[in-house]
Amino acid sequence: MKRIALYILILVSLVGCVQYDEELWINRDGSGKARVRIVHRSQYDNPEEILQKSSMPGIHLINYDIKRKGGDVYYTIYFKFSNIEAFNNINDKLGNADFWGKITLNKGRGRNITFKRRISLGSLEGDDDFEDLLRTQYTKHPTWKYKLHVPWKIISANALSENVDEKSRIISWSYDTGFMWNKTQYMTVEMRKSFPWFVLALGFVGLILMTIMVVWLVKIAKRSHLLDWLHHDEQTTK
């Protein structure tokens, strides 16, 4: 009975959410912006949910648009976030279709940075019979698409090679939910910060200025001692 209820819950969740499409920009300080497009099969639109999420700490709504086409509602939301934690907090995970997931940004050795995002679908505990049943009952599977813009050099990513643009620093993933039943997927990117040449140049300039100042002070001190000696010599001569 418990597994049947779980099956119904997942099926209803997927029937509601038809498609998820996201483009995410991350800045060096962990802030960023996102453009999200959700196609939801429903007779009613829900702008209240958007306004509620936009009032959360660290979330700044830029604009949003809601359109209806047939039995689907198209939501396009564009917002900024102050940090990764604020972005993650938007996810209330009200169902088994966790397309929002959770992002982590971790510092590695040297100048390396690791991006990881976890998404998941369902919790069937490996029951193949129910997985097969879900596949047969719901044949038109939603697609979850993600495009990520990063501020650092890309070293590696678990996306397809044609979906990794190292020059523009863009990585894309696409998931057919028909192959995600009872699975967790990870999006990972290994990056490296560029060498801080600007900071090094500032330090070099600062060192030169300090050297000039020390030399100048030494010269002033020597001149002062010379004047004192000349004055003392004049007094002695008199």
C-beta of residue 176 within 8 angstroms of C-beta of residue 119: no
DSSP 164: E
pLDDT in tens, 30-39: 999 999 999 9
Count of structural domains, the chain: 2
Both 7 and 46 in one domain: the answer is yes
Both 73 and 17 in one domain: the answer is yes
pLDDT in tens, 40-78: 888 888 889 889 999 999 999 999 999 998 888 999 999
Both 72 and 154 in one domain: the answer is yes
Q: How far apart are CA 174 and CA 2, in angstroms?
A: 31
For the chain, the average pLDDT equals 80
Which of these, 165, 176, 160, 64, lies nearest to 119 by C-alpha position?
Answer: 176
- Print the domain residue range for 233: 197-238
Q: Give the pLDDT score at 140.
A: 62
Both 127 and 102 in one domain: the answer is yes
What's the pLDDT band for 170 if we cut at 50, 70, 90? very high
Both 22 and 95 in one domain: the answer is yes
Q: Give the pLDDT score at 11.
A: 42
Q: How far apart are CA 159 and CA 150, in angstroms?
A: 14
Residue 163 to residues 172, 188, 212: CA-CA distances in angstroms?
5, 13, 52
33, β-bridge pairs: 25, 80
Both 233 and 212 in one domain: the answer is yes
Both 131 and 231 in one domain: the answer is no
Q: Give the pLDDT score at 172.
A: 98
Q: Is the pLDDT of residue 123 over 70?
A: no
What's the pLDDT band for 13 if we cut at 50, 70, 90? very low
Q: Which residue has the higher pLDDT, 237 or 192?
A: 192
Both 107 and 34 in one domain: the answer is yes
Both 111 and 135 in one domain: the answer is yes
Model confidence, pTM: 0.73
Both 176 and 202 in one domain: the answer is no
Both 124 and 238 in one domain: the answer is no
